[in-house]
């Protein structure tokens, strides 16, 4: 999530540019989307209080936000799968704090059908990308699949394994992750 100061600056700028200082954002409609429970601003070397203070909810603008909630999960509806619907409901229950809490550990207990455990990363790849050698050119098929990892080293390892399952030669492409600015001396 963006720092609240960013939206407050946008408000002031739009009021000035649109010549309507009495209206929020100069009268422009601003659409914000996302799950505000999951999008705290990232502030390096900060305390939790600093992060909460940086949230839009702690801004004076928040009182003017009209919150709308989606009623239908379109992705689940389009898939028309009972397992996708169940998983979506379980995630929503978790996000809304409706999962049972173990009194001893103070942790939630996930239902047995919440996820499938795989023994190896190759088994995981086979489950997420079945028949990869036949399907790897199908963009829609690829876009419907993802494996999430916690750190870049694990991502690179999984990517390497998946790439080795694709037939043919791999072509490396190089990129530059920084720019060099040449300044003229005066």
Same domain, 98 and 81: yes
Q: What is the pLDDT of residues 42-73, one digit of tens each?
A: 788 888 889 888 988 889 999 998 888 777 77
Any domain includes 181: no
Q: How far apart are CA 35 and CA 42, in angstroms?
A: 15
Q: What is the mean pLDDT of residues 124-153?
A: 92
- Tell whether 27 is covered by a domain: yes
pLDDT the model gives residue 171:
83
Domain count of the fold of the chain? 3
Q: Which class for 24: exposed (0-12), middle (13-18), buried (19 or more C-beta within 10 A)? A: middle
Q: Is this structure's pTM higher than 0.75?
A: no
Domain containing residue 122: 116-169
Regarding predicted confidence, which is higher, 177 or 55? 55
- Does some domain include residue 165? yes
Taking a C-beta distance cutoff of 8 angstroms, is the pair 7, 61 a contact? Answer: yes
pLDDT of residue 179: 67
Q: Is there a domain that residue 174 lies in?
A: no
């Amino acid at each position: 999530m963006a720092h609240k100061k960013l939206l407050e600056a946008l408000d002031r700028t739009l009021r000035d540019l649109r010549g309507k200082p009495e209206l929020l954002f100069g009268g422009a409609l601003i659409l914000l989307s996302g799950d505000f429970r999951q999008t705290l601003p990232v502030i390096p070397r900060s305390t939790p209080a600093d992060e909460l203070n940086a949230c839009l909810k702690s801004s004076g603008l928040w009182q003017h936000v009209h919150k709308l909630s989606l009623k239908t999960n379109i992705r689940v509806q389009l898939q028309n799968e009972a397992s996708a619907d169940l998983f979506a409901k379980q995630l929503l229950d978790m996000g809304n704090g409706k999962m049972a809490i173990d009194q001893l550990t103070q942790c939630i207990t996930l239902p047995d059908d919440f996820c499938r455990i795989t023994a190896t990363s190759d088994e995981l790849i086979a489950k997420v990308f079945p028949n990869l050698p036949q399907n790897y050119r199908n963009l829609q098929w690829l876009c419907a699949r993802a494996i999430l990892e916690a750190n870049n080293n694990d991502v690179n390892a999984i990517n390497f394994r998946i790439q080795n399952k694709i037939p043919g030669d791999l072509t490396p492409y190089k990129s530059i992750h920084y720019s060099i600015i040449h300044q003229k001396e005066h």
